[in-house]
Amino acid sequence: MTVRVLVADDQDLVRTGLSMILDAQPGIEVVGQAADGHAAVELARRLRPDVCLVDIRMPGLDGIEVTELLAGRGVPDPMAVVVITTFDLDEYVHGALRAGARGFLLKDAGPELLVQAVHAAAVGDALIAPNVTRRLLSTLAAREPSSRPTQPIEPLTDREEEVLALVARGRTNTEIAADLYIGLTTAKTHVASLLAKIGARNRVEIAMWAYETGRVGD
């Protein structure tokens, strides 16, 4: 299956470069490009790409606002958004992930990580740049001490706790299955159960919840 991608970045050179890298990969097709936030939202809603690759700083609407409109709470058919930026700033990462992004990358991450992030987002996984993942998640509770994380509708099983810890460390379904010696379908079932029990929209929110509740840490 070909992953259809929309690339949104206000810098022509960056937008063209990202598009060329992705178009050169087997199984990925860039179906649209946008130079500002409003155009990104309009194109995304019209083209319905599998993944939207969105710069954090754009005129009109920034990447966080675009993410909120395409993947935020209350969006009836949310899209997969990966936010990419030059700036390794916690507030950008927090804002993007809170808005519903499935991934966060720095522009110097390299083609390999870019392609991995697109494929991960397309199948419902999440990839955050390794150099920001642990710092990001482990500081959430400290930044928001007054907000208590929602408790699960039903208690988590021992197996779900194990899966939770692996998701929080960025493991994919395939890696979780291998680590726990279970089938891929079983791993997916456990992840789906976690999403339902804690009211998360995606794997990133599962990871954020795991850190906020103190189930995993540094």
CATH (domain of 80): 3.40.50.2300
Q: Among residues 92, 115, 138, which one ends one of the domains? A: 138
Q: Tell me the residue range of the domain where 48 lies.
A: 3-138
pLDDT at site 116: 85
Domain finish residue from 91, 110, 138? 138
152: helix, coil or strand?
Answer: coil
Same domain, 111 and 64: yes
Q: Are residues 95 and 17 in the same domain?
A: yes
Whether the pTM exceeds 0.95: the reply is: no
pLDDT at 19: 95
How many CA atoms lie less than 13 Å away from 16 in the CB half-sphere? 3
On whether residue 218 sits in a domain, the answer given is no
What's residue 145's pLDDT?
46
Token pair for residue 144? 């928001």
Domain boundary among 138, 156, 180: 138
Q: Which token pair is 160? A: 């779900």
**Would you say residue 217 lies in a domain?**
no
Residue found by looking up tokens 């299956």 in the block: 1
- Please tell me the predicted confidence (pLDDT) of residue 108: 81
Question: 3-state class of 171 per DSSP?
Answer: coil
**One-letter identity of residue 144:** E
Here the CATH number for the domain that contains residue 203 is 1.10.10.10
Which ranges of 9-157 would DSSP assign to H, the alpha helix? 12-23, 37-47, 63-71, 90-99, 111-122, 130-138, 140-143
> 56 in a domain, yes or no?
yes
Residues 56 and 160 placed together within one structural domain of the fold: no
143 lies in some domain: no
In order along its 218 residues, the chain shows pLDDT tens digits of 899 999 999 999 999 999 999 999 999 999 999 999 999 999 999 999 999 999 988 998 999 999 999 998 888 888 999 988 876 665 677 788 778 888 888 888 788 888 988 988 888 776 666 555 555 655 554 555 445 556 777 889 999 999 998 888 777 788 899 999 999 999 989 998 998 898 887 777 787 788 778 777 65
What tokens were used for 176?
């979780």
Number of domains comprising the chain: 2
Is there a contact between 49 and 41 (Cβ–Cβ < 8 Å)?
no
76 located within any domain = yes
Same domain, 36 and 107: yes
